[in-house]
Amino acid sequence: MLSREEYLIFGVSINNKYGEDAAEFAYAGLLALQHRGQEGAGIAVLSGNSIVCHKNQGLVSEVFSGEALKCLKSRSAVGNCMYSTHINNTDIVNNVNDITEDVQPVFTEYLTGRIATVHSGNVINAKELKAELMTYGIAFMGTSDSEVISKLIAYHSTKEKSVVNGVKVAAELLKGAFSLVVLSTENNKLIAVRDSSGFRPLCMGKNERGIAVASESCALDTNGFGFVRDIKPGEIVVAEDGKITYEEVVLTPKIKNAGVCIFEYVYLARPDSFIDSLGVYDAKVNLGKILAEENPAEADIVCAVPESGIEAAIGYSQESGLPLITGLIRNRYVGRSFIYPTQTQRENIVKVKFNAMKSNIAGKRIVLVDDSIVRGTSMKIIVGMMKNAGAKEVHLRISSPPVKYTCHFGVDTKSEDVIANKMKLDEICKEIGADSLGYISLDGLKKACGKCSLPLCVRCFENNGEM
């Protein structure tokens, strides 16, 4: 079975004084959030007592390249893009990896209504919940957590005779990282929920037309919705016809040592987003400054690994006084390399993705800054590229501590594949081919993200053994 992790969601509810262009807002929202997932996209809208949905594999612009948006006229919409993890290699090899069924939104009909659900995160008890629902005769079409969540909500909405109460009961049963948005035919409700630890971001914005919720605030900005606030951990917010009608923290905390996934600031989120009171740009620049304080280097220039290392490299340059120079060009049309299932595929894609700027780096001693090392695949190739282009020395500086452990809520690469789990610092440095290697400390990272209003989840760096 494939396990899916979905990374971005957008929902909008427009007042009935205004036009039926919710799907267009959702489209723009998904485009702004495309960096969080590139494998599939979908938008569902309310249409009277029905829900109409268009979804497929591919990028947002590919899935909605034709007339699809024109068929989605409504004042309420939800959308999602998919990024999947834990794909079983044999599924790819046998070419049975048809993921269309797992692309969100998931549509579910129940006795008194219909819902479309989108979610971001990873629910760790989805398998058990699915097995329980199947004992009631509920059938499943795909393998995604989202389908389990949607059917769980539908089941409890029937029992509770209310979709909001159904969402409350269902969300209380879910264990893991989830932010979700449910579109319901019951009074045109748009229901947003964030898990009780707040692992995945979810924020709310408004303008004169209505309310929008999004995984990151950049999707509100680009859509003309003013940022209102982050949705609190364990909170349910309901909007009807463009107005908030209910907002309350109702879910009980279940997971120890939990909080916002630190990888949001380190890698996942866009620098122009604000998550739980902390600007992602500021967090990344602070990480770079503290990295420079903790790990100085005798060098001529600072270079970033684009794009996720750019802001930390700015911070490193500011703190060290070394000039920041472009040392690598990233091909913008190549997506994430780490999600490919085989090591050969991952290596090949990194080679296509980056090229060294020979004219800028030849003969120079370089501080090369990146956000993290997980398997070490990218870094080994990149350092090799820089040396081949004539770099005299490459001093690698990483703006997160060594990633050592798999995390079921975030960085889910198997612990045995993670380079810092297998090797000591000097061994990693040798394996990668760098002249020196330095990571920011965990205390340094916490200091850099000190303005975050929620606790941070750092279990990929320190195994506290607790779930």
Closest residue to ligand AMP in the complex (CB): 375
In the bound complex, what is the minimum distance in angstroms from residue 73's beta carbon to ligand AMP?
Answer: 37
- Taking CB under 6 A as the criterion, the residue among 413, 444, 456, 461 binding ligand AMP is 413
Asked if residue 3 binds ligand AMP (CB under 6 A), the reply is no
In the bound complex, what is the minimum distance in angstroms from residue 451's beta carbon to ligand AMP?
Answer: 22
Site track 251-270 with ligand AMP (rule: CB under 6 A), x = hit: ------------x---x---
**Strand, helix or coil at 219?**
helix
Spatial CB neighbours of 280, under 8 Å, sequence gap ≥ 6: 264, 265, 269, 270, 271, 272, 273, 274
Report the C-alpha gap between 269 and 285 in whole angstroms. 14
- Taking CB under 6 A as the criterion, the residue among 4, 156, 375, 459 binding ligand AMP is 375
The dihedral sign for the CA sequence 37, 40, 43, 44 = negative
- Taking CB under 6 A as the criterion, the residue among 408, 412, 436, 441 binding ligand AMP is 412
Compute the radius of gyration of the chain from its Cα atoms: 22
In the bound complex, what is the minimum distance in angstroms from residue 418's beta carbon to ligand AMP?
Answer: 8
Asked if residue 227 binds ligand AMP (CB under 6 A), the reply is no
Write the CA distances from 10 to 23, 57, 75, 77, 382, integer angstroms: 10, 18, 14, 8, 35
Asked if residue 376 binds ligand AMP (CB under 6 A), the reply is yes
In the bound complex, what is the minimum distance in angstroms from residue 25's beta carbon to ligand AMP?
Answer: 28
Selected range binding ligand AMP among 94-102, 107-115, 231-239, 410-418, rule: CB under 6 A:
410-418
- Taking CB under 6 A as the criterion, the residue among 59, 411, 428, 445 binding ligand AMP is 411
Q: How many residues bind ligand AMP (CB under 6 A)?
A: 17
Q: Angle between the 343-353 and 377-388 helix axes, to the nearest 10 degrees?
A: 40
The dihedral sign for the CA sequence 455, 458, 464, 467 = positive
- Taking CB under 6 A as the criterion, the residue among 102, 319, 371, 393 binding ligand AMP is 371
Which lies closer to ligand AMP via its Cβ, residue 230 or residue 371?
371
Asked if residue 374 binds ligand AMP (CB under 6 A), the reply is yes
User: Which of 313, 348, 310, 350 has the alpha carbon at shortest distance from 331?
Assistant: 350
Touching ligand AMP, residues 321-360 (CB under 6 A): 338
Say how far residue 205 (Cα) sits from the centre of its chain.
19
User: Which of 411, 421, 415 has the alpha carbon at shortest distance from 262?
Assistant: 411
- Taking CB under 6 A as the criterion, the residue among 308, 317, 320, 399 binding ligand AMP is 308
The identity of residue 144, as a single letter, is S
Selected range binding ligand AMP among 165-173, 355-363, 405-413, 435-443, rule: CB under 6 A:
405-413
Report the C-alpha gap between 266 and 163 in whole angstroms. 36
Do 440 and 399 form a contact (C-beta atoms < 8 A)? yes
Asked if residue 122 binds ligand AMP (CB under 6 A), the reply is no
Q: How many CB atoms lie within 10 A of CB 453?
A: 12
Which lies closer to ligand AMP via its Cβ, residue 150 or residue 378?
378
Contacts with ligand AMP, residue ranges (CB under 6 A): 263, 267, 308, 338, 370-379, 411-413
